[in-house]
Structure 1
Amino acid sequence: MRKAALFTALAAAALFVGGTTTLAQAKTYTQHGSALANYNVNKYKTVKNKNMFVPRYAFKQSYSYIFQTAPTSISSTKGKKVTFKSNVFLPVTYNRSADWGNPQSEVLSKDGNTLYELITTSSQSTRGWIVRYNLGALRSKFGISTNHMDALRRATYDHSVGKMTSTDRAIMANVKIGPTFNTGHGQSLAMNPKNGQLWFIGKPVKAATNVQQVSKTSLKPVKKINFTLKSTVTMGSNLTFDKNGNAYFFTYSNGGWSPKGAVKIYKGKINSKSVKFHLVMQGLRYRPGTKPQSMAYNQKRNRLYFVSDSSISSVPVSKLGKLKPSQVEATNLNGQREFEGIQFTANGAGYLLVNKGAELMQTTSNNF
């Protein structure tokens, strides 16, 4: 275990990291002590952002026929104006009906040509897998975003019924399917743009949790860091990174020393063998919606996004801790879809992952 050596190396950070073990080919580290920095609750405050809360609703399906060939759209009804238009109709069926029908999170490369989609076996499952799509090739060779928008769903459906064509096989050569593993909730898959690493948050058990690194080639976990934020704090199930490699997650307050329903923002670092976070001492007074679905970062605008169903709020990273109400942007949208996540390319194009059925919807302008 070499605990003494590791303790010496990390004493300055007041952390203690156990030695590695190999479990299912994933290196495991155990961090002892609290990974969350101490804070004075009396100094915590919230910015009184505009209340754009959208309550929980019954999700609507986007299609009457699964092989869609024409885009649909979702538009803002209140707040910052934005329109999302169908860009990629993602597969719903691969081995059996609707077995790919539970997408939980997405990671999109900065050029928009590679998509990682994390899918769980069911809506309440903590097991799933990652699918990597070469969107660049699928768009240019097979027109999945233009004149053959049904091609990708047809290829996976044909696989399920054992009737793949040569075109189907050529399409699926640009789709890599990873193995099944324990994903936790699954809605936290995120890429650190500083080093290109993929990470997700494992399922919290009481105050304990873990983060896991995923190989971009094998699409399975290769590293796991077990830790406890604090005995009274449970980590949220969303994650993102900014351009400098800082990690973020957010939770909704249950009340007490912070207003009930407020958005609490946490910032930190996920290192090679340890993690450390601190509470940003200013949150948002009003949350976007009932359920926190995802968190994202837009490098072009240097903003963090808090995603709930049909409601998205965002704040400038440079103003964290000193936000003014006017700096908090928020949008309510129509469509009654389930929002699973949003990603941004380097030029600021936003790609919203929605479900029922699964699809990527692109902003019609790059200023969201």
Structure 2
Amino acid sequence: MHMKKAVWLTAVASAALLLGGTSVAQAKTYNQKGNALASYNVKKYKTVNNKNLFVKRYGFKTSYSNIFQTSPTSLHSTKGKKATFKSNVFLPVTYNRSADWGNPQSEVITKDGKTLYELITTSSQSTRGWIVKYNLGALRSKYGISTSHMDALRRATYDHATKQMTSKDKAILKYIKVGPKFNTGHGQSLSMNPKNGQLWFIGKPAAVKSNVQQVSTKTLKPTKKINFKLKSTVAMGSNLTFDKKGNAYFFTYSNGGWAPKGAVKIYQGKIYSKSVKFHLVMQGLRNRPGTKPQAMSYNAKRNRLYFVSDGSISSIPVSKLGHLKASQVEASKFSGKREFEGLQFTSNGNGYLMSNKGAELLKISKY
């Protein structure tokens, strides 16, 4: 190996160790030069005047009186597009100690709906966490976690924490893989590119100097990091999704200025093997769904992008990006005052909302 290259790689590894965790140190790092965001004329930016179903930030309510509940709860739309989310999987809250899995931040569900990747952070404000991989197919068919024994998954992990595992608990936990801790950033952005099956997340959102990181679906730790800058005046968003063609998306809310305050800005681009490239879609949404952007997702069945906030979800057709009509924007406002953490769709169009307090997957069809 060339001496200069060896020194550079050593420096990268050392810096990664200082940032925390051996998992980051093992990730290949690429430093992108120049701006990753294409230039644009702010005078040409417009917004579509979509229906305002804004949900103000609220105090979260729990979904359960007993953590080992066996019957589903529901979230119903109160305004906008009619929709009902119904409990499908009650996710673990406790694994090693009380409520240590109580801060889920994002989810990925595979096209067939049989595998779930859940990113959890150590606390609500932490930038460290881990990924848990669930074999939902086996857990549903063998142990009825979505039907006859909805409490089985939470009981197994709780018994793990209290060191009182039964043979059934041990069998259930074989279908759960817990990854190592690493620097996750906010953790809201775990997403899978359906074109190549790669898992990615934004390691440093809301900063001019950002990065995206690829995660191994086997080891559940970062294997690659791409450092980049959108431009000196634009910060990276904290959400990420991909469409069926492999295009990457994130969105932010405008702080005002040349774009209306509170407008949804949409960015489209590509994450390549060693670099990223994005451009601003020159038409945004005048009205945002809620106070805080929680997640972004894509439904291949309907070819739509979804903007998720607590208690409110909006969506648009990908084919109309940049020239939307207000009537093409769908939105729903929901009851329940739950924290919305993620939304994923299977190839047949079934949607799974990950909500917290406590953590669970709620299912919806044709949304």
TM-score, normalization by structure 2: 0.94
- Secondary structure of 1:139's aligned partner: helix
Letter in 2 for 1:312: I
Distance 2:324 2:54 in 1: 19
Q: Is the 8 A contact 1:252 1:263 kept in 2?
A: yes
2:320 — aligned with what? 319
1:5 — aligned with what? none
Any idea what the Cα deviations from partners look like across 1:257-291, whole Å, max 9, x if unmatched? 00000000000000000000000000000000000
2:116 — aligned with what? 115
2:93 — aligned with what? 92
1:173 — aligned with what? 174
Structure 2: tracts of 5 or more residues without a match: 3-7, 17-24
State the shift of 1:206 in Å.
3.5
Tell me whether 22-31 or 227-236 shows the greater mean CA deviation: 22-31
Distance 1:332 1:320 in 2: 23
Distance 1:77 1:283 in 2: 25
Q: Is the 8 A contact 1:19 1:30 kept in 2?
A: no
- Secondary structure of 1:194's aligned partner: coil
Match runs of 1:249-268 below 5 Å: 249-268=250-269
Aligned residues: 352
1:341 and 2:342 correspond: yes
Match runs of 1:206-355 below 5 Å: 206-355=207-356
Structure 1: tracts of 5 or more residues without a match: 3-17
2:21 — aligned with what? none
Q: Is the 8 A contact 2:207 2:236 kept in 1?
A: no
State the shift of 1:69 in Å.
0.4
Letter in 2 for 1:291: K
2:196 — aligned with what? 195
Any idea what the Cα deviations from partners look like across 1:168-213, whole Å, max 9, x if unmatched? 0000000000000000000000000000000000123741100000
- Secondary structure of 1:31's aligned partner: strand
Letter in 1 for 2:58: Y
Any idea what the Cα deviations from partners look like across 1:213-238, whole Å, max 9, x if unmatched? 00000000000000000000001000
- Secondary structure of 1:52's aligned partner: coil
1:10 — aligned with what? none
Match runs of 1:117-156 below 5 Å: 117-156=118-157
- Secondary structure of 2:157's aligned partner: helix
2:20 — aligned with what? none
1:70 and 2:71 correspond: yes
2:104 — aligned with what? 103
Distance 1:133 1:336 in 2: 27
1:43 — aligned with what? 44
Q: Is the 8 A contact 1:102 1:119 kept in 2?
A: yes
The structure-2 alpha-carbon separation of the partners of 1:305 and 1:205, relative to structure 1 and needing over 3 Å to count, comes to closer
Distance 2:99 2:195 in 1: 36
Identity percentage of aligned residues: 77
Distance 1:311 1:220 in 2: 32
Distance 2:122 2:206 in 1: 20
Q: Is the 8 A contact 1:19 1:29 kept in 2?
A: no
Q: Is the 8 A contact 2:199 2:215 kept in 1?
A: yes
